[in-house]
Structure formats: C-alpha cells, structure tokens
Amino acid sequence: MHGLRRLEYRGYDSAGLAIADGGELVLRREVGKLNNLEEGLKRAPLTGNVGIGHTRWATHGRPTAFNAHPHTDCSGQIVVVHNGIIENYLDLKRELSDAGHRFESDTDTEVLAHLVESLYAGDLFAAVLAAYRRIEGTFATVFMHRDEPGKVVGLRHGAPLVAGLGSEEHFLASDVTAILDYTRQVVYLDDGEVVVVSKEGVRVFDHEGLPKVKEVHRIDWNPAAAEKAGYEHFMLKEIFEQPSSLTNTLGGRLDEREGRVFLGDLGLSEAELRSIDRIVIVACGTAYYAGLVGKYMIERLSRLPVEVDFASEFRYRDPVITDRTLAIAISQSGETADTLAALRECRRLGAKTLGIINAIGSTMSREVDGVLSLQSGPEISVASTKAYTSMVAALLLLATHLGQVREELADAVVAGLINDMKRLPGLVKQTLETADEVQALAETFALSQHFLFLGRGINFPTAMEGALKLKEISYIHAEAYAAGEMKHGPIALINEAMPVLALATRSSTYDKVISNLQEAKSRKGAARGTVIAIATEGDRAITAHVDRVIYVPGCSELVSPVINVVPLQLLAYYTARILGKDIDQPRNLAKSVTVE
Ligand code: F6R
C-alpha cells in the first residue's frame, strides 16, 4: 500500500491487489482513491508474502471495480496488472472469446490474463514469454499464477519497470520511488526484458528467454535528496524528467494500430463533443501559455473556435457562455483560486467543463465534468517546467481526439499525429543535450538587464513562456513579442543592451521570422552580437542572420512548442544559477496560488 501511494500520481480512479494466501490468489479491488482499498483491508486484512497491486487511471473502460486491476483469467489462477496499452487487444479478445474464454471487464489488460492462460503449461515464465510474442503496444506488466505462489513474472516493453533487490524481499515497480523505502539496490529493466522475482532473487531474461546479466545500481540519495534524484535543484530535475513525464502523459493514450487516441477519463461522450460549438480555456501563468498553444492545435485540427483567457480576467468581463460551450481549465495544482473561480463561473453559465490537471484529488479535479490528467508526477519547483510540456502534449491529444470525433481529420493525418506524439519523449531527450551550450549562453548574458523573446504562430506562446521563466527565477526583465509586431513599436527598444532570442525553427512562418530577424539585426545593437536563434538541426543558412544558434531536433510544427521550450527552460535555470538566485523558491512566489 505504501508503494502504491507513491505511485498514486499515475492514477487514482480505482485500485486493487492480489495476494497469494494459503494456496489461493485473493483479489481486492475498489473504485476511487487508494484510501478505499486501504479501508477495505483494515476491515478484512489479507495475509501472505507475495502479491501485486495497481492504481489505475481509466483509458479502456470506465473506472469500476470490474475494470480495476488486477485482472484474472477464466479460472482465477492467473492475475495480472499492467500499465500502458495493448494495441491489438480487440483481435486477441475476439480470438480468445472464440476459443471459449469469458471476459468480465472492458479493459485491454484482461486479454493478457486469458492469453497467458491459453499458453500456460505449468511454467508461468514460459507462458509470459510466449504471450509477449503475440502482444503489440506499449506496456509494463506483471503476472502471478496460483500454482507458482512464490513467483512474480514481469515484462517491459516501452513503459518503465524497475526491480528492487532487498534483504529477504524483492520488488518490481513502475517507478523507483515506490520501493526506495525498502531497498537502495535496483535493476532498471530495458525494453524486451522479462524478469522473474522469487525467493531465489531477481533474474532477468531477454525476449528469447536467455538469461542476462544486469548492472545493479545503488541509489545513494538520502530521503530528501531522493526526491531530487541527485540534481542540485528540483527545477533541473524536473526539466530533465520531461522525457519520462511526457511518456506518462502520452504513453497509454496513443493507439497506433487502431489509429486513435484514448481519453477514457474525459467524462464527455463523443455526442457531447460533437455538440459543442466553441471552446473557452481559462488558466493562469504558465498554464495560460499552454492554453494559447492549445488554441492553435484545437483550431487547426478540429475547426472549433477557441478563446483563451487569463482566469483572473475572465470572470470580470461578462463572458459569453452557452450550454454548447466547452470550458477547459488548465492547472498543475488544480487549486489556483482564479482558475477555480473562472471554472465555477463557466459551470454556472451552463458550460460543460474539462480539467487538464496534474495534481491528484485536487479541488478542480473534483468539480469538473471530466479530467484529462497530466500524470507528470509531483512538480516541486515553483517554476513550472514538466507540467507545462505535459499540458501542451495533453492539449495535442485532446485536439486530435476532437478532430477525429468531429470528422475533421483524415486517418492518415491522425496516424501522422500519433507518430509525432510517440517520438516526442525521445526528441525532448535529444534536446536536453543542448544543456552545455545553453549554459554557455547564460554565462554570456546573465548580466543583462533585459531580454526580448520573439516567436510566431504556435511558438509565440513558447516565447511568452520563455520570458516568464527567465523573469520568475532570475528576476531579469524579459518580454515576449510576436515577431511580426516588432516593427509596430518595440523595435525601438533594440540596442546593444537588449539580447533578442528568436524561435526560428522550421515552420509555416519560418521565412517571416527570418525577415523579422533581419529587421532587428539591421538595428545598431543587434549588429553587436545580440541575436540568438533556436533553430532546426541542419539549418546552416540561419547563421547569416543571427549571432548565436542553439539547434534542436527537427519535428512537425504541432509538437515543436514542446521541444522549443526546453532550451528556454534551461536558459532561465542556468542564468538564475549563475546569479545565485533561490531557484526552487523564487522570491514572492508560491507553488499554488490559492488566493484571488
Ligand atoms: C510559472 C508558474 C505559474 C503557474 C500559475 C498557475 O512557472 O508556476 O505561473 O503556472 O500560477 O498555476 P497552476 O497551473 O497550478 O494553476
């Protein structure tokens, strides 16, 4: 239960466990938060020393006790928990049903239990290995069999799984934080590996069943630093966590095979999504900028008009809301007073409501009709980084879903979007390799009094987010402008004391951005080496127009805000560090602004 609690950020709409108890596998599953499961266990305790557990956030099938994990085969001899998505589950379900298997849930997970049942001949490890050859998708999954009570078999394919080596006890978990209180010796599994945990220890095999020797990592963090994972600041840790936080946001929701996204927790039917005629997004600060990116995505993919408002302004302008409006509140904390108030106002006026929220169990998540949970894990640093990229990714999921439900998107376009989203965590990882160059940039410009960020189109909000990050943790005055607006006034500011950073990656507005940069560069100050570009890998031509370039990997325009913001986060971080500021807790700010 303690381990599950550490994983609750991944999902909390239902939970369950199975324990090998006196020759039987005993199952407990409850809808709602872990407390419900815990209360049940207090009333009727279980005994046993081998078990598996899971906390769920619905994708396939509603949050009910039947859909909660663990799932079982027909005989109740096999139990399974699973994170991720089994893309060919419908084919497998059909095949297994035809062979006489009876299904009790709407989940993709349940096919795993029946598939392993159909392949079982007295050896759980062999059956899991054989099942692995039949399943497609992204998953980490763990099995037990009644007749092999001292054994747990796990499988990793695209979703995290880590083994913990204790003294007289061993563990498997989807995040090391779940087991750190019991052991510091861990083995990180790689994709395609099968792990058998038993009294004898932890044994790892490749996908053909051949034993592998794995490195045992010792985690030396003390409990406080455990959360910092060895990084100097939470902010840096959270920036570097983005490949995995994005995997958590996107992972189980993309079905390449079926060519669709799964937003099981949306709480709004397809008919309801078809009936809306307008979207209003309310949010504050960084979440507001994510909303602005979302506007581009939703309008482009679903053709629904989208308005984005500062939540603090929204209520006071007598907004036009009808019962055909979908109001979306975006919030990391789910507690921001202004956003909550704007949301309540939308509800009062008859709108359907959706929350794009990170914090589990927050007030906002309890007040909306549906939640698209970010699942990016706790964000400790006051300056938001990983929650922002997860918000943008979640908005792309939503925009794709809306476009599909409203029949605005051809299948090939959806397939392309799914592919872009699948590649995103890897591209962010590559982008993080710019850290040293960005640090050098920060060293050049840390003493600037001002900073100007320019962007266009879907990356104009990226410029705003970059300026906000720099302001809030380094206290340097920074402003963002739509590059095309410069000549209407702000260009007058340009001089040698004003570094200009432009988002100039390949996009539909690339040529326009370049001419805007030429305008800036023809001004005196810019010629002295103050124009910096974030550009696409391979774009050598840009060096003729700017003084410094940070290259980021090429990607489609719709996902580019997630990639492009990464060097801006790093720039803010390194600048603040050089200036000796209190990075994780900047002056005058709080993580959760619960006052109006
Ligand atoms: C910026 C930042 C704030 C928050 C804003 C909204 O780094 O952290 O601007 O984004 O206060 O907070 P949430 O998302 O919790 O509603």
**Is 417 inside any structural domain?**
no
Query: Do 135 and 220 fall within a single domain?
Result: yes
CB of residue 569 inside a 6 A radius of ligand 1: no
**Arithmetic mean of pLDDT, 303-314:** 96
pLDDT category, 12, cuts 50, 70, 90? Answer: low
Query: Do 363 and 300 fall within a single domain?
Result: yes
The pLDDT assigned to 564 comes to 98
Query: Do 248 and 373 fall within a single domain?
Result: yes
- The strand pairing partners of 20, in sequence order, are 25
Q: How many CA atoms lie within 13 A of 129 on its CB side?
A: 17
SS3 of 462-511: the string is: HHHHHHHHHHHHHCCEEEEEEHHHHHHCHHHHCCCCCCEEEEECCCCCHH
pLDDT category, 525, cuts 50, 70, 90? Answer: very low
Using a pLDDT cut of 70, give the percent of the chain over it. Answer: 95
- Write the residue with the smallest CA distance to atom 6 of ligand 1: 284
* Helices (runs of H) and strands (runs of E) counted in the chain: 19, 26
Please state, in angstroms and rounded to a whole number, the distance separating the CA atoms of residues 233 and 251.
Answer: 27
Please state, in angstroms and rounded to a whole number, the distance separating the CA atoms of residues 590 and 444.
Answer: 30
Please state, in angstroms and rounded to a whole number, the distance separating the CA atoms of residues 578 and 570.
Answer: 12
Ligand 1 geometric centre to CA of 408 (Å):
32
- The pLDDT tens digits for 166-180 are 988 999 998 777 888
Whole-number Cα distances in Å, 288 to 230, 294, 382, 563, 578: 31, 10, 16, 18, 28
The last residue of one of the domains, among 184, 200, 226, is: 226
Residue among 513, 576, 577, 579 at smallest CA distance from 546: 513
**Is 181 inside any structural domain?**
yes
Query: Do 77 and 97 fall within a single domain?
Result: yes
The pLDDT assigned to 121 comes to 97
* DSSP-based three-state secondary structure for 553: coil
- Kindly state the tokens that stand for 538: 């391979």
Whether the predicted pLDDT of 591 surpasses 90? no
Please state, in angstroms and rounded to a whole number, the distance separating the CA atoms of residues 12 and 250.
Answer: 17
The pLDDT assigned to 224 comes to 53
- The strand pairing partners of 25, in sequence order, are 20
Ligand 1 geometric centre to CA of 560 (Å):
21
Query: Do 192 and 140 fall within a single domain?
Result: yes
Residue among 207, 194, 208, 118 at smallest CA distance from 151: 194
Whether the predicted pLDDT of 592 surpasses 80? no
Query: Which of 189-203, 309-323, 566-580 has maximum average pLDDT?
Result: 566-580
User: 176 with 219: CB under 8 angstroms?
Assistant: yes
- The pLDDT tens digits for 418-428 are 999 999 999 99
**Is 49 inside any structural domain?**
yes
Whether the predicted pLDDT of 596 surpasses 90? no
- Please choose from 284, 362, 471, 596 the residue to mutate so as to test ligand 1's pocket, defined by most ligand atoms within 8 A of CB: 284
Alpha helices of 251-284 — where are they, by DSSP H?
270-275
Whether the predicted pLDDT of 593 surpasses 80? no
Strand ranges for 409-476 from DSSP E = 450-455
Q: Which ligand 1 atom is at minimum distance from the Cα of 283?
A: 16
Ligand 1 geometric centre to CA of 286 (Å):
5
Whether the predicted pLDDT of 310 surpasses 90? yes
Whether the predicted pLDDT of 70 surpasses 60? yes
The pLDDT assigned to 523 comes to 63
Residue 372, domain CATH? 3.40.50.10490
**Is 593 inside any structural domain?**
no
The pLDDT assigned to 11 comes to 61
Query: Do 207 and 265 fall within a single domain?
Result: no
Please state, in angstroms and rounded to a whole number, the distance separating the CA atoms of residues 210 and 450.
Answer: 59
Ligand 1 geometric centre to CA of 388 (Å):
9
How crowded is residue 44: how many other Cβ atoms within 10 Å of its Cβ?
8
Q: Which residue has the tokens 């640090």?
A: 439
- Write the residue with the smallest CA distance to atom 7 of ligand 1: 383
**Is 588 inside any structural domain?**
no
- The pLDDT tens digits for 483-499 are 999 889 888 888 888 89
Which domain does 483 fall in, by range?
432-578
pLDDT category, 410, cuts 50, 70, 90? Answer: very high
Whether the predicted pLDDT of 158 surpasses 90? no
Least confident of 136-140, 146-150, 223-227: 223-227
Q: At CB < 8 A and 24+ separation, what contacts does 292-296 make? A: 292/460, 292/461, 292/464, 293/392, 293/395, 293/458, 293/461, 293/462, 293/561, 294/328, 294/330, 294/391, 294/392, 294/395, 294/398, 294/399, 296/457, 296/458, 296/558
How many domains, the chain? 3
**Arithmetic mean of pLDDT, 376-389:** 92
Residue among 150, 189, 157 at smallest CA distance from 173: 189
Least confident of 4-8, 506-510, 528-532, 540-544: 528-532
- Kindly state the tokens that stand for 312: 């603090």
Please state, in angstroms and rounded to a whole number, the distance separating the CA atoms of residues 374 and 383.
Answer: 17
- The pLDDT tens digits for 219-260 are 766 545 556 778 999 999 999 999 999 998 997 899 888 899
- Kindly state the tokens that stand for 540: 């050598």
Query: Do 448 and 314 fall within a single domain?
Result: no
- Kindly state the tokens that stand for 288: 């507001």
Query: Do 192 and 245 fall within a single domain?
Result: no
CB of residue 183 inside a 6 A radius of ligand 1: no
Please state, in angstroms and rounded to a whole number, the distance separating the CA atoms of residues 314 and 311.
Answer: 5
Question: What letters, b where the CB count within 10 A reaches 16 and e where it falls short, cover 186-209?
Answer: bbebeeebbbbbbeeebebbeeee
Please state, in angstroms and rounded to a whole number, the distance separating the CA atoms of residues 145 and 516.
Answer: 65
CA 123: distance to chain centroid?
Answer: 36
Least confident of 48-52, 341-345, 359-363, 495-499: 359-363
Q: 227: which DSSP letter?
A: H
**Is 391 inside any structural domain?**
yes
CB of residue 286 inside a 6 A radius of ligand 1: yes
**Arithmetic mean of pLDDT, 543-562:** 95
CB of residue 368 inside a 6 A radius of ligand 1: no
CB of residue 593 inside a 6 A radius of ligand 1: yes
**Arithmetic mean of pLDDT, 134-158:** 93
- Please choose from 292, 373, 384 the residue to mutate so as to test ligand 1's pocket, defined by most ligand atoms within 8 A of CB: 384
The pLDDT assigned to 527 comes to 45
Strand ranges for 347-449 from DSSP E = 352-357, 370-373
**Roughly how many angstroms between the first and final C-alpha of the chain, as a whole number?**
37
The pLDDT assigned to 66 comes to 85
Query: Which of 28-42, 58-72, 116-130, 220-234 has maximum average pLDDT?
Result: 116-130
SS3 of 48-108: the string is: CCCEEEEEECCCCCCCCCCCCCCEECCCCCEEEEEEEEECCHHHHHHHHHHCCCCCCCCCC
Whether the predicted pLDDT of 332 surpasses 90? yes
Ligand 1 geometric centre to CA of 471 (Å):
13
Query: Do 158 and 266 fall within a single domain?
Result: no
Query: Do 25 and 65 fall within a single domain?
Result: yes
- The pLDDT tens digits for 447-482 are 999 999 999 999 999 999 999 999 999 999 999 999
User: 150 with 131: CB under 8 angstroms?
Assistant: no
**Arithmetic mean of pLDDT, 276-304:** 98
**Is 298 inside any structural domain?**
yes
Query: Do 362 and 291 fall within a single domain?
Result: yes
Strands 531-536, 548-552: pairing is parallel
pLDDT category, 120, cuts 50, 70, 90? Answer: very high
The pLDDT assigned to 518 comes to 83
Provide the Cα torsion 220, 223, 224, 229; round to 10°. Answer: 40
* Residues in contact with 393: Cβ distance below 8 Å, sequence separation at least 6, in sequence order: 246, 249, 250, 421, 424, 562
CB of residue 390 inside a 6 A radius of ligand 1: no
**Arithmetic mean of pLDDT, 62-83:** 92
Q: Which ligand 1 atom is at minimum distance from the Cα of 387?
A: 14
Question: How much is the mean pLDDT over the chain?
Answer: 91
The pLDDT assigned to 529 comes to 47
